[in-house]
Structure formats: C-alpha cells, structure tokens
Amino acid sequence: MSEIAYRSVVRLERVKGSVRHAWLPAEDKPVTFGTHGAVAQHYGAAPGTFEPHATTLDYVVAAAAG
C-alpha cells in the first residue's frame, strides 16, 4: 500500500445562515462561501438577507474545469 501523498487540512466556520468561512491551505485569509442569485432563491433566502458570495458548488465547478 502506498503512503498518503497529500492531506488537505481545512477549517470551516459557520457565520450565519448559508455564509461560511473556510481556511484553506496556501491562503492567507479565509475564503467566504454563501449563496447568490438562483441558488439563494432555490433555498428560500429573501432578497437582501445575506451578502451574495460564491457557493461551494461554484468552487467545485471552477476546480473541475481548471
């Protein structure tokens, strides 16, 4: 069995509602996740309730497309 080559260590903090901060490797500041547009509407967030931020899905799509 081969040894583990890399283990990602992250820390998540729920701020309020869908807003979360994620501390990721090689980043000096936390990344903010949340909802926006159609995603916020899908989850029933009233317009103006939260400041819009990229969703975790946006990051997954960006990572897979890269």
Mean pLDDT, the chain, whole residue set: 92
Q: What angle (nearest 5°) sits at the alpha carbon of residue 40, between those of residues 50 and 25?
A: 75
Amino acid identity at 47: P
Q: What is the pLDDT of residue 46?
A: 86
Cα–Cα distances (Å) from 65 to 43, 59, 60, 61, in that order, read: 25, 10, 8, 6
**CB-side neighbour CA atoms (13 Å) of 32:** 11
Question: Which tens digits make up the pLDDT trace of 20-51?
Answer: 999 999 999 999 999 999 999 998 888 888 88
First-to-last alpha carbon distance for the chain, in angstroms, is 30
